[in-house]
Amino acid sequence: MGKICIIGPRSSGKTTYLAGLAYWPDKQRQDKRSSRFEITAFGDAEKLKEKAENIICQGASLEPTDIKGGIDGAPLYQFRITIKHLLKKPDDIDLMVRDYPGEIFEELASGRSNSLHDEFLEECLKNVQGCLMLLADWTKEADKFYSQALKEFTKKLDKKGRLNDFRIAVAMSKCERGELWSGRLDPEIDIFDLHLPKTKNTLQSKILRQNLQFYAISTFGVLKRHDPRPNRKDKLGKDSSHAVLREAELWKPYNMIAPLYWLSEGKRIDANA
């Protein structure tokens, strides 16, 4: 069973991504392209499926990840992903995924330390085969921030002797936004080279090419194939705005499985996953 983690700053969509993954069977069974994939959620991941139905589909947003109980009390989501092939047996991937709070990523950039967060990082650097890194901004300020955090992250990987065997799938999340949607087909060039060059260079200077891939993903997707408006809208909260699903009946995620398949198997599949 492959064990991976999901890291990224706050509001990068980590928990929503996992909820969308857990809810996949209910939303995708009518889509012929997506019938290639079957996803079964177990344990804590089943609770995420309920949250997707009762919170996301009702136009609300999920609460941030709560880790007050430490790593032993933090959810460890388990999925079985079956990928069907035309001329060979299906691939079954068993994944255990830990969703790490965004504060961990932000402390990497600042150089601060927190004993509770260090506990999560210790697990990530020692006991997982790779991570899905979700990034949601593309400004120059964000590029500087991400680059600084990843410098510290790769230093920690090096100290643990993991630079040569740790896979990183770095993804621009929420790629349904109009400024990014056209770059989803070749995100390494059209998103990361264009908008986050420092971030990309920081990773490429330390991580072996075979252990690094770039993706664009969207948990909410767009409304329709011929109506590529984001299936999301922003709602004002007490302290900030947050994105919610616009049309539940048109919910169709984009490229959810491809980075997980690569992290687990080291193989690529098309972006319709």
Q: Is the per-residue pLDDT at 200 higher than 90? A: yes
**Both structure tokens of 157:** 């990987």
pLDDT band per the 50, 70, 90 thresholds, residue 49: confident
pLDDT band per the 50, 70, 90 thresholds, residue 203: very high
Sign of CA dihedral 59, 63, 65, 104: positive
Mean pLDDT, to the nearest integer, of 230-245?
73
Mean pLDDT, to the nearest integer, of 102-110?
86
pLDDT band per the 50, 70, 90 thresholds, residue 29: very low
CATH assignment, 2-265: 3.40.50.300
Contact 241, 235 (CB under 8 A): yes
Q: Is the per-residue pLDDT at 45 higher than 80? A: yes
Q: Is the per-residue pLDDT at 230 higher than 50? A: yes
Task: Give the pLDDT of residue 273.
Answer: 47
All structural domains of the chain with their residue ranges = 2-265
Task: Give the pLDDT of residue 86.
Answer: 80
Q: pTM of the entire structure?
A: 0.90
In the chain, the percentage of residues whose pLDDT exceeds 90 is: 46
Please state, rounded to an integer, the average pLDDT across all residues of the chain: 86
- Calpha distance 272→63 (Å, rounded): 28
**Both structure tokens of 44:** 């804590």
Task: Please enumerate in sequence order all residues whose Cβ is within 8 A of that of 214, keeping only pairs 6 or more positions apart, or say none.
Answer: 169, 170, 171, 187, 188, 191, 192, 200
pLDDT band per the 50, 70, 90 thresholds, residue 171: very high
Task: Give the pLDDT of residue 241.
Answer: 59
CA-closest candidate to residue 177, choices 252, 232, 118:
232
To which residue do tokens 């990987």 refer?
157
- Calpha distance 211→172 (Å, rounded): 17
Contact 182, 234 (CB under 8 A): no
Contact 13, 134 (CB under 8 A): yes
**Both structure tokens of 117:** 């967060």
Task: Please enumerate in sequence order all residues whose Cβ is within 8 A of that of 114, keeping only pairs 6 or more positions apart, or say none.
Answer: 103, 107
Mean pLDDT, to the nearest integer, of 158-173?
94
Contact 24, 37 (CB under 8 A): yes
In the chain, the percentage of residues whose pLDDT exceeds 70 is: 89
**pLDDT tens-place string over residues 63-80:** 766 666 667 667 789 999
